[in-house]
């Protein structure tokens, strides 16, 4: 009787292979990944850090009290959740699956990609 063994392998997609050192610009990276999680400014340019979407902290909801007119000249106070992101885009970015550091020169051109 044949016995089949299967193994589950975690597959990761390299979402940085499109970046070309010396050619890709900071604007192109931001268009693909969104704003970085951390920016380290250096004399020769800057290094940015992108973390996977699953490791980003979700900020707690913010609520403010609001007063509304009630019956017979009274007021009623309710808590209302403030939706973050005034002018925020609803675009879903394809962030790297591993923490990725990208070093730019002073002109905003990618000089190095570290994973």
100 is a domain residue = yes
Confidence of residue 3 (pLDDT cuts 50, 70, 90): low
Average confidence (pLDDT) over 50-68: 77
83 is a domain residue = no
What are φ and ψ of residue 12, in 5° steps? -120, 140
Specify the pLDDT at position 87.
55
Q: Edge-to-edge strand order for the sheet containing 38-42?
A: 38-42, 45-50, 100-105, 110-114
Choose among 32, 21, 34: nearest CA to 113: 21
Other residues' Cβ atoms within 10 Å of the Cβ of residue 50: 25
pLDDT in tens, 44-58: 999 999 988 765 566
78 is a domain residue = no
Quick one: tokens of 72? 């017979």
Between residues 6 and 73, the one the model is more confident about:
73
61 is a domain residue = no
pLDDT in tens, 8-45: 554 556 678 999 999 999 999 999 998 999 999 999 99
Name the domain count of the chain. Answer: 1
104 is a domain residue = yes
Full domain range(s) for residue 41: 15-55+93-115
Instruction: Report whether pLDDT(89) > 80.
Output: no
115 is a domain residue = yes
6 is a domain residue = no
72 is a domain residue = no
Choose among 96, 113, 115, 102: nearest CA to 52: 96
């Amino acid at each position: 009787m044949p016995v089949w063994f299967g193994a589950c392998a975690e597959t990761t997609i390299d979402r940085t292979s499109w970046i070309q050192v010396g050619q890709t610009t900071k604007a192109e990276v931001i268009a693909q990944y969104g704003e970085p999680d951390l920016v380290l400014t250096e004399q020769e340019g800057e290094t940015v850090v992108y973390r996977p979407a699953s490791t980003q902290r979700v900020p707690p909801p913010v609520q403010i009290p609001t007063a509304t007119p009630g019956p017979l000249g009274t007021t009623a106070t309710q808590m209302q959740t403030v939706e973050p992101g005034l002018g925020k885009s609803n675009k879903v970015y394809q962030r790297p699956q591993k923490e990725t550091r990208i070093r730019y020169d002073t002109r905003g051109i990618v000089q190095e990609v570290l994973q």
